[in-house]
């Protein structure tokens, strides 16, 4: 996917997602501008979010294979699970940003 660096050099580049384990079961999905090095964090995941993502993918595959599954019910299930994923990822992002701010304030007081 082609993106534009809007924090540094305004260069267009092909996004290459890098997954970095940052603690225990938490992974950061990000990409960098190859020109100026600006980091763009797409999202964070943990085991709960990854399991829910797996559940969505399995439901979609099951629906594709078994045409007799009720479409409305399946879509509702997928949307409900995606809402849980968004909630979990937002909670994780807030927690990580709070921790980073705490570390920054600790470092500035040294």
Q: Are 74 and 51 within one domain?
A: yes
pLDDT at 17: 96
The tens digit of pLDDT for each residue in 33-44 reads 999 999 999 999
pTM of full prediction above 0.85: no
Q: Are 27 and 74 within one domain?
A: no
Enclosing domain of residue 76: 47-110
For the chain, how many structural domains are there in total? 2
Q: Are 4 and 22 within one domain?
A: yes
Q: Are 108 and 61 within one domain?
A: yes
Pairwise CA distance, residues 106 & 75, whole Å: 46
Pairwise CA distance, residues 56 & 93, whole Å: 21
Q: Are 62 and 104 within one domain?
A: yes
The tens digit of pLDDT for each residue in 12-29 reads 999 999 999 998 899 999
Q: Are 69 and 108 within one domain?
A: yes
- Beta bridge pairs of residue 40: 31
Q: Are 92 and 104 within one domain?
A: yes
pLDDT at 110: 67
Q: Are 30 and 53 within one domain?
A: no
For the domain that residue 40 is a member of, what is the CATH number? 2.20.25
Helix (H, G, I), strand (E, B) or coil at 57: helix
Q: Are 5 and 32 within one domain?
A: yes
């Amino acid at each position: 996917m082609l993106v534009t660096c809007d924090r540094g050099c305004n260069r267009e580049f092909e996004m290459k997602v890098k997954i970095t384990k940052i603690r225990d079961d938490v992974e950061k999905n990000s990409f960098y501008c190859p020109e100026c090095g600006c980091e763009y964090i797409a999202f964070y995941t943990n085991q709960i979010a990854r399991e829910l993502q797996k559940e969505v993918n399995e439901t979609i595959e099951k629906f594709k294979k078994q045409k007799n599954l009720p479409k409305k019910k399946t879509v509702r299930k997928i949307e409900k699970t995606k809402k849980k994923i968004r909630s979990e990822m937002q909670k994780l992002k807030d927690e990580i940003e709070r921790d980073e701010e705490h570390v920054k304030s600790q470092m500035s007081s040294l």
